Amino acid sequence: MNALAWLKSMDKKTLWLLFLLLWLAACTGKVENADLSPVPSQITAPNELPEHLARYRIYWQGRLVYLDGTVVENDPITQLKHDKSIMLRSYKFSHNGRYLVYRYADVLWNDSEAFPGFPGLREKIGMWDMKTGERKVLVELGKDFPKEAMMEGLAFTPEDNKVLFSVIWRDSDETQHVDLAMVDIASGKIERLGMDPLPVFSLDLDISPDGKWAVLAENTTLNNQVCLLIDLEKRVLDCFSFEAGWYQTVRLTLDSHSIVYSHNRGIKDPSSIFVSKIDGTEHKVLVSGLSSARILLIDERKIVFSGATYDNYRCSSIYVINLDGSNFRQLSYLGQECLTDEELKKMAP
């Protein structure tokens, strides 16, 4: 059975639970016999970071901070958490820092036939203009797509005028659709890319700085091929002979020549950070032996990611490494972000 047929065979509840499981696998998981390699040196003070990295924003330990450890004033993510059901890790700042897009849900629904005994959340994509203070809804399930649809992944185009996202829905005749769509943040106009049926519902998205390529995370294989790359001009999906498994987070390098991604063979297997040329060559492991990994940022030379290790799988740290695999360091001055016992119990299968 190929990936698309596999998706079509699932009902709504099974799909929702599957994607929840995938998200949890990306967050944490105890793996066996995994030693972090290479061993990182420690950055004990932020003055060792380049200025542009030091001012990058991450949500860390329950608040939005810069990588230099300074707390972001009037933290918009915390404000959203107070007044909206913002989805975990489902927000993106525009490249110029002006706009924040985020997925949230504020309407409960319960379809006893499609989702028996299991209430759902009607999702929306919202936009916040940090300059003017304007907030508005860009995409709303039940209006722009069927209410039972699901959305994942957010990525700004290089001009910061549109947002790419992944969507999966089912028609009244039970035909399953998996596609990418663009929404214009000024007009709210939504354009489906017409990639349906995509063989994968992507949990993470990125767009190259030249706007030609999109890269998507995938957790299935199609005919022993891993389908990560989309030519946005030709709207063609490219697949590679990569190793099967779970591709949780993906990013394109600034020169658009390479893909950086985290990968593990299975939920309980160690995660690694890889870099490969955009044509699928020069497949290189940068860091191995992680319990989980999430890529946060790529600049001209460096990758910033969060990750947990086998010996401390419930706690994540922030790391930085050069694209060539050199100078691997842990930002120890930021401390760790740890799951509580209660949170771990909720994640237990």
State the pLDDT at residue 243: 81
Residue type (1 letter), 157: T
State the pLDDT at residue 311: 85
State the pLDDT at residue 67: 97
Separation in Å, CA 91 to CA 95, 218, 242: 13, 19, 28
CA distance 154 to 294: 15
Q: Which residue has the tokens 């790359």?
A: 229
CA distance 310 to 86: 30
Separation in Å, CA 10 to CA 2, 16, 117, 178, 243: 13, 10, 17, 13, 24
Other Cβ atoms within 10 Å of 44 Cβ, number: 11
Structure tokens at 57: 């924003």
- Write out the DSSP string of 305-336: EEEEETTEEEEEEEEEEETTS---EE-GGG--
CA distance 119 to 148: 11
CA distance 125 to 104: 6
Structure tokens at 150: 């699901």
Over its length of 349 residues, how does the chain's per-residue pLDDT go in tens digits?
444 444 445 444 444 444 444 444 444 455 556 689 999 999 999 999 988 899 999 999 989 999 999 999 989 998 998 877 787 678 999 999 999 999 998 655 554 444 444 445 678 999 999 999 999 999 999 899 988 888 989 999 999 999 999 999 888 777 888 999 999 999 999 999 998 888 777 889 999 999 999 999 876 666 677 888 999 999 999 888 888 888 889 999 999 999 999 998 877 789 999 999 998 788 899 999 999 899 999 999 999 999 999 888 889 999 999 999 999 999 999 999 998 766 565 555 4
CA distance 305 to 294: 5
> Is the omega angle on the peptide bond into residue 197 within 30 degrees of 0, that is, cis?
yes
Buried b / exposed e across 280-289, counting CB within 10 Å, b at 16+? beeeeebbbb
Residue type (1 letter), 125: I
CA distance 79 to 342: 24
CA distance 92 to 285: 27
CB 102 within 8 A of CB 71: no
CA distance 16 to 12: 6
Paired strand residues for 37 = 288
CA distance 253 to 150: 28
State the pLDDT at residue 345: 56
**In sequence order, what are the residues at sequence separation of 6 or more whose Cβ sits closer than 8 angstroms to the Cβ of residue 101?**
91, 92, 94, 125, 126, 127, 128, 138, 154, 156, 163, 185
CB 183 within 8 A of CB 139: yes
CA distance 24 to 186: 34
SS (H, E, C) 104-135: EEEEEECCCCCCCCCCEEEEEEEEEECCCCCE
